[in-house]
Structure 1
Amino acid sequence: MTDKMELLKRTKLFVLDMDGTFYLGNQILPGAADFLKAVEKAGKQYLFFTNNSSRSPRDYMAKLEKMGCPITRDQIMTSGDVTIRYLQTHYPDKTVYLVGTPPLVESFQEAGIHLVNEKPDIVVIGFDTTLTYEKLSNACTFIREGALFLATHLDINCPTETGFIPDCGSFCAAISLSTGKQPKYLGKPFAETVEMVLDKTGFSAPEVAFVGDRLYTDVATGVKNGATGLLVLTGETHLEDVPTSEVQPDAIFASLGEMGQQLCQL
């Protein structure tokens, strides 16, 4: 692992996970707000990126504001944003059957994605907390009939204040078992996410650090795409998980709070 202080010094943009990294449920994790102040004081920037596609960017902005952490629209990005951009770029004229929450549906509609309930060209699976058997069955049928199978992100579980709940990757596992088809995943840790962050911010990959509590999404986004991957131990990953992981972080911090304290020493 690279020297922590050197990594922090060279990083110009911190791309922060949310669930399990910045907050848990409706509580900002200790020291996380101070980290943002330390980033600004050091003349650096931060951007929130969540794989959780169940809410819209506006929802996340409202949630953070209630916690006393107001941000602008250009400081929040979701796997839903990446998926919309991917569809606009590669399949602009195709129809989509979306398995998602009302906020995700609204985001797709506002972006001009042509949503249908019959004979779609593409099926997109999101983290649908309003999932029904009918939606699941429809998705399987359309994929069997030849629709392209996309998913906003691969997270298996979503952390909450009371434990973990099934996430998008779990839904996709059921669909894959039923259809024999595997999805193309977007969101973290895939290149489309890094490309969107770099395009939107103007930074180069070596200037960016992806920070989060998951090795296979947050950290992997950095280490597999030419950026930095920093692990915090406030969510899913425990220190004993690291030695056996295929993905190795560039550095490990107890929390954003610890990162903030070290930033202040630069």
Structure 2
Amino acid sequence: MSERVIKSWLSDMDGVLVHEGTALPGAAEFVKRLRDTDVPFLVLTNNSIYTARDLRARLATSGIEVAEESIWTSALATAQFLHDQIPGGSAYAIGEAGLTTALYEAGYTLTESDPDYVVLGETRTYSFEAITKAIRLIKGGSRFIATNPDVTGPSQEGPLPATGSVAAMITAATGRAPYFVGKPNPILFRSALNRLGAHSEETAMIGDRMDTDIVGGIEAGLETFLVLTGSTQTHEVQRYPFRPSHVLDSIADLLDRV
């Protein structure tokens, strides 16, 4: 496959730049080189719990300096999507500050009374009361949106149920499936490109997951780099009916591309 000229970069965070709070090989150097050469880039994450400011601080702790404006979360993309659909609308949100702040800053009113949307994000403490409220609102006509389809999230004790699992519960109770904005939906990648003012033919996506980062990047028309520092091992790549443009040991192997 012929190599394109890459003028802007998108990168996943967990499994590409950091692992459990520790910078992965080459990550700090790669991001610094992008900054020093003024190459446009965004860090993409399906995590809707934290604000971009929170994530900037977490990355800085690991030694990776990324500006707040260079972080694009599924919560921010969801808020942008809702603003584009119904400007100044209303939502009942289940989630943390990353989601509620994004909705507020997009001009949305947060309410439990006949909202335009029920928006499901990620939280460490899903409330049965909040889920019940969401079910009743959706059955009453509110549209159902979820920030991302991930069914589990990591913790020190093991996997936790995440947005996709709770969305499945709500779908079972209402018969209504949500529209997922986060990866692998190409709309997340398109919104990132719009934020950068970049073109898909000149942009690459770096990720560690075939089923979110890579397939979403392919569907958005990007060159894709799979790194083996996260969720995917070499032998697993063959199981998928699509392939990344490149498979690398880590983001350190991309230092000569910028």
Please, what TM-score do these two structures have when normalized by structure 1? 0.88
Specify the SS of the correspondent of 1:85.
helix
In 2, Cα distance between the equivalents of 1:153 and 1:247? 21
Q: Which residue pairs with 1:263 in the alignment?
A: 257
In 2, Cα distance between the equivalents of 1:103 and 1:89? 19
Q: Which residue pairs with 2:100 in the alignment?
A: 105
For residues 120-146 of structure 1, the C-alpha deviation after alignment (integer angstroms, 9 at most, x for no partner) is: 221111112231111111112211222
1:219-238 correspondence to structure 2 within 5 Å: 219-238=214-233
1:87 aligns with 2:85: no
In 2, Cα distance between the equivalents of 1:251 and 1:162? 33
Contact map agreement 2:46 2:147 (CA 8 A) in 1: yes
1:97-246 correspondence to structure 2 within 5 Å: 97-160=92-155, 163-246=158-241
How far residue 206 of structure 1 moved from its aligned partner, in angstroms, is 0.9
In 2, Cα distance between the equivalents of 1:13 and 1:222? 13
Specify the SS of the correspondent of 2:172.
helix
Give the letter for the 1:75 counterpart: S
In 1, Cα distance between the equivalents of 2:124 and 2:101? 15
Unpaired stretches in structure 2, ≥5 consecutive residues? none
Worse overlay, 191-200 or 208-217: 191-200
Unpaired stretches in structure 1, ≥5 consecutive residues? none
How far residue 201 of structure 1 moved from its aligned partner, in angstroms, is 1.2
Please, what TM-score do these two structures have when normalized by structure 2? 0.91
Q: Which residue pairs with 2:51 in the alignment?
A: 56
Greater RCO (CA < 8 Å, at least 6 residues apart) = 1
Contact map agreement 1:24 1:160 (CA 8 A) in 2: no
Number of residue-to-residue matches in the alignment: 258
Among 246, 253, 257, the residue aligned to 1:251: 246
In 2, Cα distance between the equivalents of 1:103 and 1:193? 16
In 2, Cα distance between the equivalents of 1:72 and 1:155? 26
In 2, Cα distance between the equivalents of 1:230 and 1:157? 24
In 2, Cα distance between the equivalents of 1:188 and 1:19? 13
Specify the SS of the correspondent of 2:239.
coil
How far residue 215 of structure 1 moved from its aligned partner, in angstroms, is 1.2
In 2, Cα distance between the equivalents of 1:59 and 1:239? 32
In 2, Cα distance between the equivalents of 1:213 and 1:161? 20
Contact map agreement 1:25 1:161 (CA 8 A) in 2: no
How far residue 110 of structure 1 moved from its aligned partner, in angstroms, is 2.8
